[in-house]
A and B are shown apart, each in its own frame.
Chain A
């Protein structure tokens, strides 16, 4: 009798501990739903939600802000996708910089900083990733979320064993079911991630977006890094190659141009080029915090990109980009993205007219002053 009562008491105590733990963990996990502030700069003329172009997204975690920077002068348009993968922060921060700093003089710029809004609300399992990282501006420190590569499983669960891309029948690992950059052009009645992709495709079609740039990062040992991936039509390839020559001539910035593989489906540079009239481009920079070789994960690693294990690996030729003891900072990664965005606009000479992004910092300016110098101060 005594033994049974001890069992019950221990069960009650353990259940109480479980409830306390769940409450404490819920507070931590829920804190990642808090949205970091973005301060629209003087160039922002309108802020709409993605549901404007696909009403089924309204009220869901997939609905996301679209910042419109309209010069008021007719011309070409560009859509910049940041935060496709929220664990690739240079894309997100470059998009924020455009919103807070850029003032187009001709044409119209559309910026989606959190393309996969849901993926900002969680981190990837078993990566020990920080939930936030910090950037110093002139008068304070800004915080930003470090999210996951894929949609939060809370919003789309369970994953199928095998992901089948709806348009092509291509099969991939089941975990790619929640990767928005395998879901394009999306489906109106598809899963959560496919619906968000469908919303973006609708925006591009309805607004006749001339150029679409999807900003990414990859690990320094990955082969497609410090690269522009362009849809394989002549106009897009020309734009990418002219940009390559500009950034190499102006800044000595080493970058490659790769043609979008015909048989790799679901990605922006393939499907948006095939299904819409936009010139579809994707960019990759080298992010040490994303690779397999880095040491302890921390917010500092995300921002500084400095890791002694990657430096050692580079000396053995195990990385595909130059990696010095100083690492590859977030400022340098953003400078690469932003310089190419500037030259994509500058070099566009098509029928849609001109796109002039106005006063814009150079690659060298961003590296010298840091990306924080071009972000708004925290309020």
Chain B
């Protein structure tokens, strides 16, 4: 049961990250792209766990 609670948390965090990646931002593009790359790297690990691959 706890496993599914944790998976729900992972899905929620993943959704926040994706929404955040697409939000409007006043910062320079150079800054934004580095934040987006950081977010993408986190997404890989979260997706692997969400789909119970790793």
Size range of the chain B interface in the assembly = 20 to 34
| Contact yes or no, B53 A25, CB < 8 A | yes
| Contact yes or no, B6 A157, CB < 8 A | yes
What mask results when residues 14 to 36 of chain B are scored 1 for a CB within 8 Å of chain A, else 0? 00001001101100010011001
Inter-chain CA distance A58–B52, complex, in Å, is 20
Chain A positions within 8 Å of B25 at CB level: 4, 7
| Contact yes or no, A21 B44, CB < 8 A | yes
Chain B positions within 8 Å of A22 at CB level: 44, 47-48, 51, 53
Chain A positions within 8 Å of B44 at CB level: 18, 21-22, 25
**CB of A11 within 8 A of chain B?**
yes
Inter-chain CA distance A132–B5, complex, in Å, is 33
Chain B positions within 8 Å of A17 at CB level: 40
Size range of the chain A interface in the assembly = 20 to 34
| Contact yes or no, A10 B32, CB < 8 A | yes
Inter-chain CA distance A1–B30, complex, in Å, is 16
Inter-chain CA distance A259–B34, complex, in Å, is 57
| Contact yes or no, B48 A25, CB < 8 A | yes
Give which listed residue, A18, A30, A157, contacts B43 with CB less than 8 A: A18
| Contact yes or no, A8 B22, CB < 8 A | yes
What mask results when residues 1 to 36 of chain A are scored 1 for a CB within 8 Å of chain B, else 0? 001101110110011011001100110011000000
**CB of A122 within 8 A of chain B?**
yes
**CB of A154 within 8 A of chain B?**
yes
